Amino acid sequence: MYIAVTGGIGCGKTTVVNEFRRIGLPCFVADEVAGAYYNDPGFVRQVAELFDEEILLPDGSADKRTIARIVFSSPEKLARLNALIHPRVWDDFEAFATRHRSSPYVIFESAIAYEYGFDRKVDRVVCVYLNREERLRRLEQRDHATRQQLEQRMRNQLSAEEKMLRADYVVLNYEGNPRARQVMHIHKQLLADSKTLIQ
Ligand code: ADP
């Protein structure tokens, strides 16, 4: 069974996924995997071919800041880049899931599971929720970014409330809320779900 863990940036996906990892579930972090593609010269070449601008640094590696600037200003170029990355991420996730097939379920962590239709490829979605103000506060500390930069990043995503409404399970990640207990509760539900799915 495939389980997506999603939620708005800064809501605490990473910390929630770590709880699942602590229970012993295999966890695939889409962002990390996609980021590592840039170490593959073949991939970097493919990305370079997508754009009419130079995106290679003198040492042949990809200039991620330039790529970010290009895709940020052009939805069409962002879509092209996504069309290159997302199918590869999904193939890698399926290979990962196959390697862990003895586990009752595997976790797919992605901030943009809904935005790019991964929700339709998984069996259940867990959304980590935290209101916008609190997320901004945590991100200012974590990323040392300005409010304006953070709000811009958030604008490309569905609202946290919309994600929560669509999800099968929700973790409310307010400070002081018992996160481990919420995750354990969802874990038990997921184990029950996995039995009904198999039947
Ligand atoms: P995401 O992966 O969703 O972007 P993170 O898991 O990195 O979010 O969490 C964002 C920030 O908030 C991090 O600095 C993290 O340490 C902090 N954080 C996460 N959960 C809590 C919590 N329950 N209480 C206080 N701080 C938290």
Tokens of 35: 């980021």
Number of domains in the chain: 1
Residues of the chain with pLDDT under 50: none
**What is the per-residue pLDDT for 52?**
79
* 83: helix, strand or coil: helix
* Integer angstrom CA distances of residue 84 from 34, 147, 183: 10, 30, 33
Atom of ligand 1 nearest to the CA of 8: 3
**What is the per-residue pLDDT for 196?**
86
What separation in Å is there between the alpha carbon of 52 and the centre of ligand 1? 38
CATH assignment at residue 137: 3.40.50.300
Domain that holds residue 178: 2-198
Residues 197/30, Cβ–Cβ less than 8 Å: no
* 13: helix, strand or coil: helix
- Atom 11, ligand 1: which residue's CA is nearest? 138
**What is the per-residue pLDDT for 155?**
84
pTM of structure: 0.93
Task: Give the single-character DSSP code of 29.
Answer: E
Structural element, H or E, at residue 109: strand 106-109
Atom of ligand 1 nearest to the CA of 17: 6
Ligand 1 pocket, mutate which of 11, 13, 15 (most atoms under 8 A from CB): 15
What separation in Å is there between the alpha carbon of 54 and the centre of ligand 1? 36
**What is the per-residue pLDDT for 54?**
86
Write down the H helix ranges in 37-146: 41-50, 64-73, 75-99, 132-143
